[in-house]
Structure 1
Amino acid sequence: MITICPKCHYQRQPIDHTIHADVCPSCGIVYSKFIAKQNPPADDPEPATETVLDYEIVPTLRQRLGEAFLYVPAQVPKEVFYARAVLLAAFALWGGYFITAGVNWEKIGSSFLHAVNLPFHEFGHILFMPFGTFVMFLGGSLFQILLPLICMCVFVFKQRDTFAGSIMLWWCGQNFIDVSPYIADAQYRALPLVGGGGEESHDWGNILTMLDALESTQTVANCSFGIGVIVIIAALIWGVIILKAQWKSTANSID
């Protein structure tokens, strides 16, 4: 059984068992046909009348996404593995802090991450300004949530670093939680705003007023917080799955 693709050099992973053993999960070639073309029989110029497969099996989108999000490199240095394990544990504790804080501005707003998220929030207003007043107000919160997802896709599909992708997903969940106190303040508009803007500059006060949903302020805030909790937990589970797979595939180098 071929485990390393002769064309793209992709090494088959345990999760690739759903893809035909003669097909590369990465580039989609049929191993036997590719090798046959590279090494034609010297005494038989005629093409073979029978092949293992007479067509190329292309993995489905679901299979490709599964391979991308659960990709594990063949070898991971043990110091990198243990550093990732410690890092994931730290993010689990940090996530627990945000989850147990609830929709609490004092705890969430005083976090180091809030200062990190804030510039991206403000940039979102500028980015979405051409799309109208409503989208401009929404753009701050929207961009600070979308940015970690964009980073996640870069790590997963470009860098093939699924562990880093799980951390970016964790950051996305934290941004949902980071936004929730701001939403909860829509009725009162008491939180300090960047640049000392007045009540008319309150994003969610304006958004919910324009939607005629100001009375649903707390419900919307709780929904944002709840989504953040679910995303953080999903990110941690993803990280555990990746580390578990790395442990199994690199057991010999870690021992």
Structure 2
Amino acid sequence: MYCPNCDAEQADGNTTCKRCGIVFEKYWEYHLRPDESADKAPAAPGTQHRHSSNARMRTETHTAMRELFLPAVTGANPLHTWAKAALLAALILWGLSLIGSSVASNAAGESFLHLINLPFHEAGHVIFRPFGEFVTSLGGTLGQLLMPLIAMLVLLLQTRDPFGASVALWWLGENFLDIAPYINDARAGVLPLVGGNFGHSSPYGFHDWEYLLTETGLLHLDHSLALASHLLGSLIMLLAMAWGALLVYRDFTAAR
């Protein structure tokens, strides 16, 4: 038998197309079967064509998204697969350790990755300076979130490296964990800042989140917002680890 949508040859009894992914029974709900006559078509003019177009669009979208995030695996290199597995294992162990740490512990802020995040944070202040004092202060946080997001999009859309994109997504989540202690410190001002300063002894505006939350009247919510940032980052990291694990599993399966 052949797929009625893409003409790919199928094994008898298949319920979905192995190439384009359509479900045959759903396809025939909106199309005439070869053995059906035209008088069995829906009565309303244009209905069948509209349904057919919608069904095809949904199928094409689903196929494109699947190919983007979970592309077909052909000829996986065992060495590359094991390298991915090793990196993924390290990210899972490290990620779970960071996720399980409290906001007050500043585990992410004390890791070496904080030193990688920091330049993007400081660059964000410079990049967003033309937009005023408030956005300049917010720009530090935006800078360290935008960098992994841009990396993920480039890896996913340009280089077509979904595993690399999953690592960048993990990094994005880690940045939310890195930001959380800074938000949490808005009132206390005890975390060391750039240049050896502290929030409680620095001029107003030097501590980004003290300034941002004071200006928005949300300073009393610093701990709650910090926890929300930690939880959001944790969810993103878990999603990234699950995505990466699925990709590595597919590589191993294809290599059998």
Q: TM-score, normalised by structure 1?
A: 0.74
Q: AA paired with 2:165?
A: G
Q: AA paired with 2:127?
A: L
Q: AA paired with 2:230?
A: F
Matched residue, 1:146? 146
Partner of 2:21, secondary structure, is helix
TM-aligned CA distance change 1:14 to 1:192, over 3 Å: farther
- Residue 212 of structure 2 is aligned to residue 217 of structure 1: no
Contact kept? 1:16, 1:67, Cα under 8 Å: no
Q: Deviations over 1:105-160 (max 9, x none)?
A: 54322201011100000001111111111111111111211211110111111111
Unaligned regions of 5+ residues in structure 1, if any?
A: 6-12, 21-56
Matched residue, 2:122? 122
Q: Deviations over 1:210-248 (max 9, x none)?
A: 110100010000000000110010000001111122222
TM-aligned CA distance change 1:96 to 1:60, over 3 Å: same
TM-aligned CA distance change 1:221 to 1:170, over 3 Å: same
Q: Deviations over 1:42-72 (max 9, x none)?
A: xxxxxxxxxxxxxxx6664454233211124
Q: After superposition, where does 1:199-218 map in structure 2 within 5 Å? A: 199-200=203-204, 201-218=206-223
Contact kept? 2:106, 2:178, Cα under 8 Å: no
Matched residue, 1:91? 91
Partner of 1:172, secondary structure, is helix
Q: AA paired with 2:88?
A: L
Aligned length, in residue pairs: 207
Contact kept? 2:186, 2:207, Cα under 8 Å: yes
Q: After superposition, where does 1:57-96 map in structure 2 within 5 Å? A: 60-96=60-96
TM-aligned CA distance change 1:64 to 1:156, over 3 Å: same
Unaligned regions of 5+ residues in structure 2, if any?
A: 7-16, 25-55
CA distance in 2, matches of 1:105, 1:194: 19
Matched residue, 1:236? 241
Identical aligned residues as a percent: 38
Q: TM-score, normalised by structure 2?
A: 0.74
- Residue 132 of structure 2 is aligned to residue 132 of structure 1: yes
CA distance in 2, matches of 1:183, 1:72: 42
